[in-house]
Amino acid sequence: HNADKGEFKHYMLKEIYEQPDAVARTIEMGIDKSETAKLRNDFLQRHETQLSGIRHVQVLACGTSYHSGLVAKYWFESLTRIPCSVEVASEFRYRNPVVVDNSLVICISQSGETADTLSALRDIQKHTPAGLVSLALCNVPTSSLVRETDIFLPTLAGPEIGVASTKAFTTQLAALMLLVMKVGVIQQRMTNDYVSTLIGELQLLPGQLHASLNLDTPIKTMSESFEDKRSCLFLGRGLQFPIALEGALKLKEISYIHAEGYAAGELKHGPLALVDKDMPIVVLAPKDSMFDKLKANMQEVHARHGELFVFASESSQMIAEDRLHVVYVPDVCETLAPIVYSVPVQLLSYHVAVMRGTDVDQPRNLAKSVTVE
């Protein structure tokens, strides 16, 4: 490999630690370090006409890239009021879906060679709905996906070797936020004030990611409780729900422990039946608009003897107690919190996998790039 592991035991760990830089580079595509009030003039400038005509967003992706699409849906709809649908490419392809006129089809893929994603894009292109604009959010500029789309929005993560995607995911999120802002600005769907507030918050991100890497030691300690477990739940609400799904995917793919990501409000509709003292429950709990509701969900679990492992804001004043473990994550604005909360779930999965002695960078049965259907 042209990338070197350096001082790190695994590529995955190295790639987790590269996130502050990778995200900073990606953000700089849209934001000038010295300019805090607006997006750079040259960001997606050639595509302004195309982007000004879109009225609907359709995201297609697989796996981790699908999870970044789920976050983008929350952002597009809440910040720009443009409707956004997200679907795994392998389902979208085979159900004769509707692609409305003036859709922006965003294909998210680290590799740009994922067969399901490419095929779903090609199917849409065959039917050429009016005003179709296609965009590749991709980490490999020379990939098939980039060649076959109208717009290329790069993630500047650098080569990702570990099969478990980490820095590709957080850079996808950073780039998606820039895209949401760009569309919001050119269609006058976001106020200049709000855009400049978000730009200020984005500039804090690399530092916050860096601070979240300092949680490595407490998370390693936490991971000891997972070593002999057979099954695990990840809970989040709102923007943290996709991060719960991503945490569960990371844990299963590298530690081989069964894990499910759930929207915490859905617990009482079924999965609560699983909860007992042997079921660890990881909760993504930033102090945001959903925090009080989430606390009630945590109490439901705790009352049924579940053991809670909570990633909470420093300012949340959550106190550890019996069967309730807390790791404090740096405070971050609600909109960008999913990017920062990705780090603790990556570190947790990593340490559990190392403890269980799996092949972290090359888990069994998986390929880095799935080029067959």
For the CB of residue 231, give the shortest distance to ligand AGP in the complex, in Å: 19
Supply the Cα-derived Rg of the chain in whole angstroms.
Answer: 20
Residue 135 or 190 with smaller CB distance to ligand AGP? 135
Strands 258-263 and 151-154, bridge-based pairing: unpaired
Residue 195 or 343 with smaller CB distance to ligand AGP? 343
Q: For residues 260 and 232, give the distance between their C-alpha atoms in angstroms, rounded to a whole number.
A: 7
For the CB of residue 18, give the shortest distance to ligand AGP in the complex, in Å: 16
Residue 102 or 125 with smaller CB distance to ligand AGP? 125
Residue 12 or 31 with smaller CB distance to ligand AGP? 12
Phi, psi of 107 (to 5 degrees): -100, 120
For the CB of residue 217, give the shortest distance to ligand AGP in the complex, in Å: 24
For the CB of residue 258, give the shortest distance to ligand AGP in the complex, in Å: 16
- Catalogue the long-range contacts made by 39-46 (C-beta closer than 8 Å, 24 or more residues apart): 39/178, 39/181, 39/182, 39/185, 39/195, 39/199, 43/178, 43/182, 44/151, 44/153, 44/179, 44/182
Query: Closest residue to ligand AGP, Cβ-based?
Result: 63
For the CB of residue 345, give the shortest distance to ligand AGP in the complex, in Å: 12
User: 3-class secondary structure for 149-195?
Assistant: CCEEEECCCCCCCCCCCCHHHHHHHHHHHHHHHHHHHHCCCCCHHHH
In the chain, where do the E strands start and end?
56-61, 84-88, 103-109, 133-138, 151-154, 231-236, 258-263, 280-285, 307-313, 324-329
For the CB of residue 250, give the shortest distance to ligand AGP in the complex, in Å: 6
Q: How many CB atoms lie within 10 A of CB 136?
A: 26
Residue 161 or 190 with smaller CB distance to ligand AGP? 161
- Which residue in the list 38, 220, 229, 368 is annotated as catalytic? 368
Residue 12 or 267 with smaller CB distance to ligand AGP? 12
Closest CA to 222 of 320, 344, 309: 309
Which residues have C-beta within 8 Å of that of residue 49, sequence separation ≥ 6? none
Residues that bind ligand AGP (CB under 6 A): 62-65, 109-111, 114, 117, 163-165, 253, 369-370
Active site residue 14: no
Please, what sign has the CA dihedral across residues 93, 97, 102, 108?
negative
Which residues are tagged catalytic? 368
